Each structure stands twice: as structure tokens, then as C-alpha cells.
Amino acid sequence: MTEIRPFLVNGEWRNGEGTLEVRNPFDDSTVAEIAVPTDADVEEAIATAADTFEESSRLSVAARSAALDHISRRLDETQEENAVLIAREGGKPLKWARVEAARAVSTFRWASETLRHGQDEAMRLDTEAAFGSRFGILRRFPIGPVLGITPFNFPLNLVAHKVAPALAVGAPIVVKPASATPIGALRLAEFFAETDLPKGMYQVLPVSSKVADGMARDERFRKISFTGSAGIGWYLKGLDPKKKVTLELGGNAGVIVHSDADLDLAAQRVAFGGYYQAGQSCISVQRVLVASEVYDEFATRLTKQVEQLKSGDPMDETVDVGPVITGSEVDRIAEWVAEAEAQGAEVLTGGKADGPFFQPTLISRTTPEMKVRCEEVFGPVCTITPYQTFEEALAEVNDSKYGLQAGLFTNDLNRAFEAHRTLDVGGVIVNDVSAFRADQMPYGGSKDSGFGREGLRFAMEEMTEPRIMVLSHVPL
């Protein structure tokens, strides 16, 4: 019998009522049985977070940093175990699960370092004669309890990106993890429980979307940090105009390969960035735009790279591409590809479902209205399209309702700066793909890709508000 994993509320591990079954997307085996909170558990968690805020908001930097350091150390000590959990619950190939496990270590370390560095500011206010002798001290204070809602595709590190900044600023956080992959959030709870922070500062509720909707409406949460689909994200933002909301939503990232690029490097990196997560990442490469004079050569190189990718058991260390999260998602991706073919697109490689997998797929001769190009595929599918001028390529990247990140391969610094100025996205990655992310950098998008920024310092700013104290009639 599978052991039931409890959830954490008010410092207690509880079994709630009923269970949620977590299944491996590769072979449909049961990974874990997760205890489901009762309505009373949910209410207690919210009340505990609200009651804890006064204490947590007054904690010293030393206390908060020590806890963050401890969690980082424990994540470091258990990296391989954590990687295996990530691979089993979400189907991520083990070699990429190890990358995520390592990133979670640095996410908590960066939170601690950012906290110790400080964000307070001193301001001279004797700048006008009429002001007299005044001096300002600007500090940031947490706005209140945070509700974190996390997706399936990075079950450990995307939870870390909500929990670490909340603990750093002294804001209690309640996390509602994805039902398909809740183990990462519970893993972090284990390490949090070993710290000296108030027990109400981190709680995990593996509840349904319906219950999460009620939580999002609760006025005791002053902040919502959500990563997931655009429809749900914008719905959450509209629930309460007084709540602060950070949304990290979808994307159909464009990558430009200009004629002066290193084509071998670009092909290798696009083959990584479009398929490493089975395309199930908001910043996965989806639209590849190639200068016409090198299009045929690059398409050949990229096709060869994609055909070398290995799909299979996520626990096989040689596997590059794992399963899609559910069979229904496999079916949807297959429908979109078949629809594009029927409308005149050409599949250069892949294009078929294979059990829990969808073959790594590269499609040419697409048109802007095809779903594989204008929507977010969220699967191992890329399109490749030639362009005549660099300006045309920039316009094509911008011709999207999304704006999360973009990639650009060029050796021309002026083109890099032009892209940075022109592209309506949250990040431009030069000589690499859109899928690059360092955990300390600002991360978020424009348009339907979201609102606000993650990345430790930036997430901490999103969870706090500036408050100035003016000292009057002081000798300056």
C-alpha cells in the first residue's frame, strides 16, 4: 500500500480527508497518495497565516537569513533524491530534473544573499530651500500574507520562487501546488519545518481548483503569486482590485537566427530549448525565425539535431525528452499538428503521438493563424520560418499576444541592442534561446504573458511596499 503523504498546516502534518493520487506520466504508476485538506484545514491555514503576519513582519534579517540558508543546505544535501522525485511525479528526464533540483538550492541561497544585502535607502531631502533640513529613510515592508499557486512543470523550483522571497521579506505564504505534482511543495515544507521561523510562515494545501478559487477571494490574502494559464491568471487578477497580483503566464517564444550567427550553436541550443521539457515550459522555443540566406542550411542542421533527441523513460539518464503530462494533452498537440498539416504546413520531422510521448516535431511552411504558431503549444513542437530583413523578424516576434522571452543569435551588437529596444517581451537572450533563465534575474512578461516580475530581488519587491520616514530639523 502506498504511504499517504500528509500536508503542513500550522506546523502540523495532517492527513485531512481523502487522498489525491499522483501518477507518473510515463507509465501511469502511482507515485504517491497525498492527503487532501478539509475545509477546516483550509480555514485554519489562512487564519494562521493572517495571525502570524505581525510576528513574521518583525523578524530580524539574521533570523530570516538563517532559515533560508538552512533550506538551501538541505536542498543541496538531498539533490539526487529531489531530482528523482521531480522525474517521477512530473515525467521530467532525470538529467533535467537534476538541473531543477540544483536551481532550487541557488534560489534559496540568492534569497538569503539578497536579504542580507538590504534594499533600504537613505535620501537627502534638503534639496529645496523651502524643505529645510530633512532626511529620508526608505524601507520596504511586507504587505501581508501571500497565496502562491504553482504549476506542474517545475514542481520544486517554481514553488521555491514563491516561498523563498516570501520568507525573506517576512510574509507568511500558503501554497496551493499543482494537483499533478504536489510533492515538491511538500518537500520544501519538510525543510521549512526544521527552521526556527514561526510555524505559520509556510503552509501547503493540496486542494482542488475550486477550493483555491475561494482562497484567492479571501481578503486575508493581500498578495497572490500565480504561475499557470493565462485564462486563470487574468481571472485571478480581476477578483479583487485591492490585492497585489504577480502573474507568470504563457508564451510562444520566438528565436531569431540571423545570417551572421553561429549556425551549429544555434541549432544545438534550439534543439535544447524547444524540447528539453517536452516543450512544457512557458519560455520553451516555439517559433524559430531564420534569415532567408541561411534558412535551408539551418533547417537541415536543426532537423538533424532534433532527430538525435531521445525520448523515453525519464529515469534513463540518456533520455532528452520525457512524456507529456497527460494523455489529453498529447491528443490536443496531435490535433494542432494535424490541423496545421491540413492547412499546408510541412512536418520536417516528428509529428506523431507515441503513447505518453509526442515526437519532437519541427514544422515549416506555417502561416500566422495556425495554432502551432499563434497559440501556446506547450508541447515538443517548433515552427521554422524564413525572413527577409531583421526588422521583419522583430515584427514577427512581436506579432503575438504573448511576450515572455525571446532569443536572438547574432554577432552584431547593434542588432542585439535594437532587439532589446524593440521586442515587447520581458527578456531578450542574445546568442542563446528564450528558455534560458538565471534564478536571480527579473523574470516575467508583457501582454498575455503576465504581470509583475519574479526573480528573488524583484519578487521581494512585489511582496513589499516602500514606506518613507522623514526626519525633520536634523543637522545635515
**Angstrom distance (rounded) from CA 254 to CA 409:** 11
Residue 108: closest CA among 10, 200, 191, 230 = 191
Contact 45, 12 (CB under 8 A): no
Active-site residue, selected from the candidate residues 100, 282, 376, 382: 282
**Angstrom distance (rounded) from CA 269 to CA 298:** 12
Cα distances (angstroms) measured from residue 203 to each of 42, 128, 191, 404: 10, 49, 12, 29
Cell of 377: 503549444
Residues 6+ apart with CB under 8 A from 442: 426, 427, 453, 454, 455, 457, 458
**In sequence order, what DSSP letters do the residues of 146-186 get, joined into one string?**
EEEE--SSSTTHHHHHHHHHHHHHT--EEEE--TT--HHHH
Active-site residue, selected from the candidate residues 89, 113, 248, 461: 248
Measured N-to-C along each axis, helices 157-169 and 183-192 cross at an angle, to the nearest 10 degrees, of: 30
Cα distances (angstroms) measured from residue 407 to each of 273, 321, 427, 435: 10, 21, 8, 8
Contact 425, 447 (CB under 8 A): no
Active site residue 81: no
Residue 58, SS3? coil
Contact 216, 206 (CB under 8 A): no
User: How many CB atoms lie under 10 A from the CB of residue 162?
Assistant: 27
Residues shown for the chain? 476
**Angstrom distance (rounded) from CA 235 to CA 216:** 10
First to last CA, the chain: 72
Active site residue 282: yes
Burial 73-84, CB ≥16 within 10 A → b, else e: ebbbebbeebbb
Q: List active site positions.
A: 248, 282
